[in-house]
Amino acid sequence: MADLTQTEWREKLENDSNAVLIDVRTEQEIDEGYIPKALHMDIYQGQTFMDKVQELDKDKTYYIYCRSGGRSAQACAIMNQLGFNKTYNLLGGFSEWQGAITHK
């Protein structure tokens, strides 16, 4: 896992053809908007979250964010324990995101 600044995270994401974007916030937070193409996997859903993680391809690179960077750091740590070697946490999270945002 690596903690990346907003700029580092966005640059790596934009130049990574193997990237998967994951939003680990709650449904209510997602309703406020999210980064385009993000998969929603609420970390507070416990076993459901774990089941979804187990279905992911360990060869991909994962860019993970939450509201401020805490839950996404947890998600990265969990994924690393499960054998995912390329996880990147967005420092400052969605609350500091300056890029594109979409709504449902």
The domain locations on the chain are 2-96
Which residues are catalytically annotated? 66
**Above 90 in pLDDT, residue 1?**
no
**Architecture of the domain whose range is 2-96:** 3-Layer(aba) Sandwich (3.40)
Q: What is the mean pLDDT of residues 66-92?
A: 97
Can you give the pTM of this predicted structure? 0.95
**Do residues 49 and 77 lie in contact, with contact meaning Cβ atoms separated by under 8 Å?**
no
Mean pLDDT of 42-55: 96
Q: How far is CA 1 from CA 9, 20, 26, 83, 103, in A?
A: 12, 14, 22, 11, 28
